[in-house]
Amino acid sequence: MMKTYQKECKLKDGSVVLLRPLVAEDREGLITFFRSLPEELRLYLRHDVTDAKIIESWTENIDYDHVFPILAFADERIVGDVSLHRIPFGWKRHIGTVRVAVDPDYHDKGLGTLLIHEIVELASEFGLEKLWAELPLAFPAAIAVFRKAGFSSKAVVEGLVKDLRGRNTDVVIMVCDIGTQYDF
């Protein structure tokens, strides 16, 4: 992959981040990034990202047709990770799932919104029709970020997942209709 496959973006506070797809050389940086996330955030990720082997399996098996991961860098440090997951066949072939994690130092700077916007745009390029995201109902700020990017809440599943203390908590399912993103 060419080195210039990237773009610079400005955040709300004027700081600059570099966005580019994940490459194999990002292994160490990604491990450091995920380990730096607070436990309460890591809990909502799909994998145990503190396990270096998990990260290694991602960086060694990059397949952009199934998972398109984009990293955000600030001064060469990973500060955000968003990924678009696709199932090329079957009844969900037109749907992409979005997963995002942002360094707490970069919360409230517009990075989450920027990353999700990027994925919405990419989903359109990939010919997807809908995007799907699942968020804890207890994270209104994250829900607001998705809403700003064009997602709307479709359902709340009560008590579906467990928090750090083992309590069952609610999950909100949000969907973005890609076509309507081009209304502006």
Partner 1 sequence: MKIAFISDIHSNLEALKAVLGEIDKENISLIVNLGDLVGYNASPRECVDLVKQRQIISILGNHDRAAIELKFAEGFNILAYQALAWSAKSLAPEHKRFLKKLEHTRMLWDRFLVFHGAPGNPDAYLSFLFQAKKAFNYMRQKTPGVRIGFFGHTHHRAVWQRDVRGKVSRLEMSQDDLLLDPEQMYLINPGSVGQPRQRQWKASYLIFSNEPETIQFRSVAYDLHSAQAKIRAAQLPEYLAERLETGV
Residues making contact with partner 1 (CB under 8 A): 1-2, 4-7, 9, 19-21, 64, 70, 118, 121-122, 124-127, 179-180, 182-184
Nearer to partner 1, 126 or 139 (CB): 126
Minimum CB distance to partner 1, residue 180 (Å): 8
Minimum CB distance to partner 1, residue 164 (Å): 34
Place of tokens 């969900």: 92
Strands (E), the chain: 7-10, 16-21, 67-74, 77-86, 95-102, 130-136, 152-162, 168-177
What SS3 state is found at 122?
helix
What SS3 state is found at 20?
strand
Minimum CB distance to partner 1, residue 7 (Å): 5
Minimum CB distance to partner 1, residue 171 (Å): 28
Nearer to partner 1, 30 or 72 (CB): 72
Listed as own residue / partner, the contacts of 155-161 with beta carbons closer than 8 Å and 24 or more positions apart are 161/44, 161/136
Nearer to partner 1, 2 or 141 (CB): 2
Minimum CB distance to partner 1, residue 72 (Å): 11
Nearer to partner 1, 15 or 124 (CB): 124
Lookup: tokens for 111: 């990075």
Q: Are the CB atoms for 30 and 82 separated by under 8 Å?
A: no
Nearer to partner 1, 6 or 36 (CB): 6
